[in-house]
Structure 1
Amino acid sequence: MGNCFSCFKVPPPPDPSTNSPMEKDKEGNSSTTQNLCAELQPSQEVHCPPLTAVETQVNGNSKGTGVMVVGSDNCGSLHRDKTPRTFYSRIPPLGRSTSSGGDGKGREPSEAKLNAMFEQYRDCNEDAMLADGIESLCADLSVSPDEFKVLVLAWRLSAEQMCRFSRAEFVSGCRAMRVDSVKGIQARLPELVVEVTRDPELFKDLYRFTFRFGLDAESGQRILPSDMAICLWRLVFSVREPPILSRWLFFLETHPQVRGIPRDTWNMFLNFSEAVGDDLSSYDDTEAWPSLFDDFVEFENDQMNQNISKDKDEIIKQDCN
């Protein structure tokens, strides 16, 4: 295409002692066009058709509406333009982030924002969110404090104990979730719920976390009280309840002598619920199950035998009548 930069050559400035042909008469479009093309002759690749209208000429660049001009972006090419084109208009603006910062997922979470958000809910006497602050946070998140989403949030924050989020737990947990605002947490929670319910390994991690989360860490508690264990079993299984759960909880509620649930019993119940199904027919008492599971199966068998006896008595009474 020859020397590309030739399309940027401009004609020499007009002699001030003489009037420009364009100043004399704008009607002489044809002659003006021929003069202009003659001055651009070194390019040899620029073909200038007759111009329909030329208003002004500044530094060799023509301006006007509906004018055929030599484009500065495609050397020697002709195009129709209503406004002058410049190289600088093609450069994208600098210093702007292309990510949507509404939920913080497209950028690194702001430490300042995380600390400012924590301060909104921090207890006035302790550098931590306590029951009231967590309740306010849940209200802003449009969730209930006893909802499964809040348990998932505590799990992702690696909270050491219930009703308490320390600053370090909150800031590091939100940074790991890549959020730095209430709206960001609110948008992330449903995604976390889907992830934990679809991935058995993630759910197992959440399930084991729940036992530790329910303990009173300040008193060094190692066994979960039965009433607390019942509440937490209902909560952690609220999105994927095993068939045996309701009968298991009924057994615990009707046997007050069972005062606490050790960690091993809690952890093994997940395997137990998957192994026995919904009718306990596959339960093997020779396996190394906790003794409490043996008691539960015996209780269930007794209940079943009692129901069978009642059904027989009802049948006999109906026959006698």
Structure 2
Amino acid sequence: MSESHLEQWFAQYQDFERTDGASVIMPDGFERLCTDLGYDMANIEPLVLMWKLECSELGTVTYDKWESSLKAMHVNNANELRRAIARVLKNMSIEEPVYKQFYQRMFNYLKSDKQKVISAEFAKDILPVIKTQDNLLFDKFVKFLDSDSEKYKTINRDQWQSLLALSKIMDSNLTGYSKEDAWPALFDEFADWVQKQN
């Protein structure tokens, strides 16, 4: 694809009101791009697209990343971009390292610049969207956070990453969970809660 064609495509969504002169698609432009691709913002595709376009923040794409990402995916138009994202989704469902990269990146998108935590509200919104089909533990974890929203207000990176690790080795009843293992204390409380539910 020629660079001028890439620039024209980018310009359809670019924020031209910026005073710093930077070539950037902002969240409203990103949402228009997703609409044109036929993506529902409540589904996983926009998040995968964000990840593959190497967005620095939620729904924010610089021209440099746009150009390098599309070239890396061998994408020349909207149809090819849709197909590329579909391939990524398929790979994520069968290749654990690919899904892990995506999952870990989500934490960066959900936190504010200088913060080291994300809000539990954000986590509760996004976990059902990004979970794999067989992952029932995420659903239970969301209900657990809901059970005391005054107490569980934030999630740190260690807890976020541990949730994925836990979901890989435990069933949704946390069978075999031990407080002697080195899980964050939050998961001891989660295990107690699951036990009470059962």
Partners of 2:136 and 2:176 lie apart in 1 by: 14
Q: Which AA in structure 1 matches 2:32? A: S
Partners of 1:221 and 1:120 lie apart in 2 by: 32
User: Does 2:72 match 1:180?
Assistant: no
Partner in structure 2 of residue 119 of structure 1: 11
Partner in structure 2 of residue 243 of structure 1: 136
Query: Which residue, out of 49, 60, 65, partners 1:169?
Result: 65
Query: Which residue, out of 139, 155, 161, partners 2:35?
Result: 139
Q: Which AA in structure 1 matches 2:138? A: L
State the 1:179 CA deviation.
Answer: 0.8
C-alpha contact 2:50 2:59 (8 A) present in aligned 1: no
Q: Report the structure number with the largest CA radius of gyration.
A: 1
Structure 1 residues 40-189: aligned runs within 5 Å: 109-126=1-18, 127-189=23-85
Q: Which AA in structure 2 matches 1:146? A: A
State the 1:163 CA deviation.
Answer: 2.2
C-alpha contact 1:155 1:209 (8 A) present in aligned 2: yes
Q: Which moved more, 1:274-283 or 1:220-229?
A: 274-283
Residues 12-31 of structure 1 show CA distances to partners (whole Å, capped at 9, x for unaligned) of xxxxxxxxxxxxxxxxxxxx
Partner in structure 1 of residue 93 of structure 2: 197
Q: Which AA in structure 1 matches 2:189? A: D
Partners of 2:197 and 2:41 lie apart in 1 by: 36
User: Does 2:147 match 1:254?
Assistant: yes
Partners of 1:128 and 1:119 lie apart in 2 by: 9
Partners of 2:103 and 2:3 lie apart in 1 by: 30
State the 1:190 CA deviation.
Answer: 1.1
TM-score (norm 1): 0.58
Runs of 4+, deviation exceeding 4 Å: none
State the 1:303 CA deviation.
Answer: 2.7
Q: Which AA in structure 2 matches 1:270? A: L
Partners of 2:53 and 2:152 lie apart in 1 by: 32
Aligned identity (percent) is 24
Residues 141-175 of structure 1 show CA distances to partners (whole Å, capped at 9, x for unaligned) of 01112321111111111111102112122121111
Partners of 2:88 and 2:55 lie apart in 1 by: 16
Number of aligned residue pairs: give it.
193
State the 1:252 CA deviation.
Answer: 0.2
Partners of 1:241 and 1:167 lie apart in 2 by: 37
What are the ranges of 5 or more consecutive residues in structure 2 without an aligned counterpart?
none
- Structure with greater proportional helix content: 2
RMSD (CA atoms): 1.4
C-alpha contact 1:215 1:223 (8 A) present in aligned 2: yes
The higher relative CO (CA closer than 8 Å, separation ≥ 6) is in 2
State the 1:241 CA deviation.
Answer: 4.3
State the 1:199 CA deviation.
Answer: 0.6
